[in-house]
Structure 1
Amino acid sequence: MAQDHSGTAGQEPVGYDYQQGWYPTQEQQPYGYQEQPQQQWQSEMPQQREPEQYYQQPEAGYEQQLYAPPSYEQPQAYEPPPSYQPSSFEQPSYEPLGEPAQPTPEPVPEVEAVPVVAVAAPRVRKTSPADRVKDLAASVISGEHAPSGRALLIRAGAGVAALGVLITAGVMVTSDRSDGGTAGGPAEIPKTFTVAHARAWAAQPAAAPAAGADDTLTGSWLLGDAVVRADSTGVHAYALADGKPTWTLAPPAEGAVPCGLSPTVSPAGLGAALFRVSADPKSACTLVSAVDTKTGKAAWTKPLSDAKDTYGAHVAVLDDKVVAVGDDKAVAWAAADGKDLWTYAGQGKFCTLSGGASGKTVVLHSTCADSVPADQAVALNAEDGKVHWWRGLNNQPKTVTVLSAEPAVVLTTGEQPTDDRIFAWGATGDPAAEIPVTAEGGRLGVTRGSFDATPTVFFQDQTLLTTLTTADGGHSSAVAYDLTTGKPRWKTQVAEKGKTVPVGVETGALLLAGDERLDQPAHLTRYAVTDGRATAGGGYPQGTGSLLTAGRVLTGGGKVVVLPEHSANFGVAGAFQAKG
């Protein structure tokens, strides 16, 4: 998703003019793209190691699922992509990781061998296919070694059976996929994606930040007619049409500043915001406000925790309820009026909690003074707050981060980078995947999950999507993992130069943003969730620089909206739209 400094009529350029001075200064040639070929992989990076009792099952009769490390085959040597030249987009052919084996046809009944009769080649004449078939049938029946009528019937039946087997095999080939994805091609690419984009607007700050104030993005929403940004200055909405400020949420207490937003808003337009009572970024997030995003007013406010120490709180809106996770408890309130619904404080004494909620599930990392093992993953039913399942984390992690609630995924770190692991569980808590974060070829970008203001790993159904970055700074790859097996679905090497960052998932594709360079405009690239097929997007205006990789990218209403992680560098928000 790049940019021009002209701005809209009567509006001074802001935000983008304060970027670092390394941006290209020479005039660039017209931008255009050519699809980059995908590196095909027949097998993936090393997978799960032999189990080391990573899970402890509290229920009788449970057996640890075993994982065998698969073989790894080195990829083909990478060939640098051609420079960007104006051209039409031509999609290269791609193959998903691992072709399904051809089905073995069932045996057909043995029939009497038909002798081959030598016939002189006739001269070519124009006849209909029906006439030719009729002539051929007559020659077979009337030939010197013609079979009996009974033999013909047997052979005809066998032929029908064989045809049925072939048809069945054809269906199996087209519907069975080794990567577990959906049969068929990738999701339809939006028509405007490959079109060059122009800057639509750059928002003016709704409130001037205090001297030395933290300018970090703490949350964002894309609404039907506005985009919302939360940082230390407050929760502010900007019109999607022109970027002008529309409303600002009043803080629930004097001096309170936002420290988080719910990842989504409800269909009724209700969101939720977390506040700390002071501007100190090390102070705890102790207040939760339900926000009517149509008016920008708080519907109600509730205390979350009285803890004084810093902790990572998260809040979510789930249809008819608001669920927040604090340092020592998870709490649910009725979305309509803030009525208390349930509270969960852990399964032991003096518990510390972290995590988040989505769909019908709350997933927590729980550590209690008397819990064995000390670190546990706990899933609650969002409806009543009761424990659905729990699993012990026996790898003695240094840190545990909940990346997603549906699917249930956590990241653990250890003493060494090679100890870092991703664990995923099925709907009933069965261990479904264990994925090393560090693998041959690089490291997975999974440090920021679904509840972070700027996530780097995304989930669609049972697929994890992110990037694999090489230690030597070479070309990274877009990757997808099957969370039911822990095996990679596909891996596609990124053709772009410079920095690339995963910024979202939309219409069945992972979006990666690329920086502007002298020979390359800033732009987005789509990687189909099903097979990793890459499609480069249209270029963004000269001067966009690293804006697209600097924060959150949201798409909707015909706009591509960028909310930089730090407003001092790029402004509070900017939008682009396709030309023409």
Structure 2
Amino acid sequence: MSQPPPPPHQPPSGGFGPPPEQPDDRPEQPEGAEQQEQPEQQEKSDQQESAERKETPQVPLSKSPQPSADRPDRPDQPDQPGQSPQTPPPGPPSYGYPQQPGQFGQAPQFPPNQPPPPYGYPQQPGQMPQAPYGQAPAYGQPPAYGQPPAYGQQPGYGQYPTQPMYGGGVQPPGGGSKNAKILAVVAAVVAVLLVAGGGVWLLTKDDGGTEAKKGDKGTTQGADGGSGDSGGSGDSGDSGGSGGEKGLIDAELAWTVDPPKVDKQDIIAETPGTWFVGDNLVKATTSSTTAYDMKTGKVAWSIDMPRPKDCTAAFEMSENRTVVQYGRRCEFVMGIDLAAGKKLWNKELPSKRDSSSEFSYTEMAVSGDIAAASWIGNAVGYDLSTGKELWQQEEGSDCKDRGYSGGGQLVAKLECGFGGSQKVQGVGPGGKKKWEWKVPDGIDVRKVLSTDPLVLGVNAGGESSIDITDVMVLSDSGKLKEKITIKKERHELGCRGITLSNCPGTVVDGETMYISSKPHQGGGYGQTSEIIAFDLTTGKSKWLGEPTSGGRIVPVTVEDGALLAYELPGYDKPGQVVTLDPGSGKPSPRMKLPAGSAKKEYDMASGSDVHPFWKDGHFFLVNHRFYASAGLSDLAIAAYN
């Protein structure tokens, strides 16, 4: 069991990977690049590493991973935080975690840790033989009832809420005294301990209706005191003008949305689900699914529905359709046409046991015409257009679906027996199995980084049973093609929670994977990090992209073949969006964020689960975690045009 979080304004011991000690050296250069220091020693190290891998074709297993059924009660544990820089101003911290003074952010675990040396990426990735293939049982298997959820289930619920740290004299936003915030955190810890120990929260909200509303302008503060779903506020601004460089956008903070209201019984609420359709940003929140015009923040449409803290949504959409979970117990699923703003269908999830927490760890995904959901006790597939049930887990089967990931294809993770073997399957039309990869013994599939191409994050018995130690690339037929070793002290995939998806710090496009290096000391500015590009066909690194500002940088998306990345704001300056050259990784500014709202940006990026998005020349910071206590939640959305 992890330790309770520290009171506000103290360095936390929780979170997914606050930085350890600061190193003094720089990340390693890509394979083939000139080494500036100790070239002979580096060459020897590369040869030794290559020789070791040739002698050991199998993935090294120092110890077998623990049964995934135990993990929700023991979420990923972080390294202990390091000391903040002594010379102000502090540099940008790991993206998304509350940390020690001088850093910001807690959860979007974009590059969180300050590593010991060395940095960079693996010199010569080893190969792993293809595992034998077995026959899969009929699709859909029943899990053992009452056991804790495995990896691949609902992300982040039950994690300790933590107040973001403010460094260098920056004061926290208003909304409650220090003592009140301490009490809020303590209350949240008690709630988490109750859940972990088998306690049950009895939610009292009615199921309510799902009436769609359109065209409301509203304000950021709802009529009930802050649902946050009534619209955006702030200057609409424009798309930005030329900043002296071709294509450079001088952005304004165009509009914002206030945080939604969180029921006091929930303490903390996760709100996954952000999609872009047409001119709208669509967000699932605690009481609705709402579409905002990307330029103005005006509400285009909204579908009201009760969504307590444990309700989730698919991370993806398929042909402008997705699914969201709702209801007093999160016992319903709704298919939504995101372009039209209309409900397609709604179904009650098939219950196997009468418990208020039965659906608390649901994971949902969509691909093609299929929507799939898995939770403790069952899994089900639906036709995304009609809501027709396609499958349920079979009674008495030893194997069970533990999670789904969608997008380019629907991928299912199956576990057979308690802590036994694992399988990864491709799910075709109607729920039929397309292919299957039998996971080698001793390897635990933790994350699906991409479904097209299929890229998995696994633990292969490294020094910690909670780390992703390797990235495995599979073919369209489910055969292992390549393996990339992930070094805890060098690389940051930006994954969080226990859901099978949700690694916003990793971007996969075609034959390239982009991640961040671990943050490290970056000279006078404080902490810095780099973008590392890996060739998925060879497993080798292609280039190392440095930030223009000398601070922290995280990958966001790929546009026209080039990576867009977010350079995080510093203590006294705004962040910016940059484009990295596909061949060299050299960055060039794409959007300069406004200095006048740098404090809001800094505070927003300090939130506990904030995601950066880029769409059609617009940049967004979107919060996915909120608290019942006033003053702990930052803005829900900040839009820059």
Say which SS state the counterpart of residue 49 (structure 1) adopts. helix
**AA at the equivalent of 1:266:** S
Residues of 2 paired with 1:192 and 1:276: CA distance?
A: 49
Residues 400 and 416, structure 2, Cα contact 8 Å, conserved in 1:
yes
Return the offset for 1:523. 0.6
**AA at the equivalent of 1:336:** S
TM-score normalised to structure 2 length:
0.54
Residues 284 and 290, structure 2, Cα contact 8 Å, conserved in 1:
yes
Say which SS state the counterpart of residue 261 (structure 1) adopts. coil
Q: Which aligned pairs between 1:65-84 and structure 2 lie closer than 5 A? A: none
Change (3 A) 1:495 1:202: same
Structure 2 counterpart of 1:292 = 337
Residues of 2 paired with 1:487 and 1:325: CA distance?
A: 35
- Residue 292 of structure 2 is aligned to residue 238 of structure 1: yes
Which 5+ residue runs of structure 1 have no aligned equivalent? Answer: 1-19, 21-37, 56-82, 84-96, 99-190, 279-284
Structure 2 counterpart of 1:349 = 398
Residues of 2 paired with 1:347 and 1:53: CA distance?
A: 34
Return the offset for 1:569. 4.1
Residues of 1 paired with 2:344 and 2:468: CA distance?
A: 45
Return the offset for 1:216. 3.5
Change (3 A) 1:529 1:324: farther
Q: 1:559 aligns with which of 618, 629, 637?
A: 618
Residues 346 and 368, structure 1, Cα contact 8 Å, conserved in 2:
no
Residues 272 and 315, structure 2, Cα contact 8 Å, conserved in 1:
no
- Residue 423 of structure 2 is aligned to residue 406 of structure 1: no
Structure 1 counterpart of 2:504 = 455
Q: Deviations over 1:197-221 (max 9, x none)?
A: 111112345x533346424331111
Q: 2:256 aligns with which of 196, 202, 206?
A: 202
Q: Deviations over 1:34-81 (max 9, x none)?
A: xxxx996443886893545459xxxxxxxxxxxxxxxxxxxxxxxxxx
Q: Deviations over 1:94-124 (max 9, x none)?
A: xxx99xxxxxxxxxxxxxxxxxxxxxxxxxx
Return the offset for 1:501. 2.6
Q: Deviations over 1:424-447 (max 9, x none)?
A: 2111222112222216x7123242
Q: Which aligned pairs between 1:272-283 and structure 2 lie closer than 5 A? A: 272-275=323-326, 277-278=328-329
Task: State which structure, 1 or 2, has the greater radius of gyration over its C-alpha atoms.
Answer: 1
- Residue 312 of structure 2 is aligned to residue 260 of structure 1: yes
Which 5+ residue runs of structure 2 have no aligned equivalent? Answer: 1-8, 10-26, 34-45, 61-90, 92-121, 124-244, 627-631
Residues 300 and 337, structure 1, Cα contact 8 Å, conserved in 2:
yes
Return the offset for 1:192. 7.5
**AA at the equivalent of 2:318:** S
Q: Deviations over 1:391-449 (max 9, x none)?
A: 2232344x62232222222222345158722222111222112222216x712324259
Structure 1 counterpart of 2:381 = 332
Structure 1 counterpart of 2:579 = 526
- Residue 53 of structure 2 is aligned to residue 49 of structure 1: yes
Change (3 A) 1:486 1:290: same
Residues of 2 paired with 1:488 and 1:304: CA distance?
A: 44
Return the offset for 1:319. 3.7
Structure 2 counterpart of 1:501 = 554
**Identity in percent:** 20
Residues of 1 paired with 2:358 and 2:321: CA distance?
A: 29
Structure 1 counterpart of 2:415 = 367
Structure 2 counterpart of 1:479 = 532
Residues of 1 paired with 2:299 and 2:379: CA distance?
A: 34
Say which SS state the counterpart of residue 288 (structure 1) adopts. strand
Say which SS state the counterpart of residue 393 (structure 1) adopts. coil
Residues of 2 paired with 1:192 and 1:299: CA distance?
A: 44
Residues of 1 paired with 2:58 and 2:273: CA distance?
A: 37
TM-score normalised to structure 1 length:
0.59
Residues 526 and 537, structure 1, Cα contact 8 Å, conserved in 2:
yes
**AA at the equivalent of 2:513:** L
Residues 504 and 511, structure 1, Cα contact 8 Å, conserved in 2:
yes
Return the offset for 1:500. 2.6
Residues 39 and 493, structure 1, Cα contact 8 Å, conserved in 2:
no
Residues of 2 paired with 1:475 and 1:346: CA distance?
A: 52
Structure 1 counterpart of 2:162 = none
Residues of 2 paired with 1:246 and 1:214: CA distance?
A: 27
Residues 321 and 334, structure 1, Cα contact 8 Å, conserved in 2:
yes
Change (3 A) 1:368 1:457: same
Residues 365 and 401, structure 1, Cα contact 8 Å, conserved in 2:
no
Change (3 A) 1:327 1:385: farther
Residues of 1 paired with 2:473 and 2:517: CA distance?
A: 19
Change (3 A) 1:487 1:394: farther
**AA at the equivalent of 1:239:** D
Residues of 2 paired with 1:311 and 1:215: CA distance?
A: 12
Over aligned residue pairs, what C-alpha RMSD do you find? 3.9
Residues of 1 paired with 2:555 and 2:344: CA distance?
A: 34
Q: 1:491 aligns with which of 536, 544, 547?
A: 544
- Residue 273 of structure 2 is aligned to residue 224 of structure 1: no
Residues of 2 paired with 1:193 and 1:296: CA distance?
A: 33
Q: 1:323 aligns with which of 372, 378, 383?
A: 372
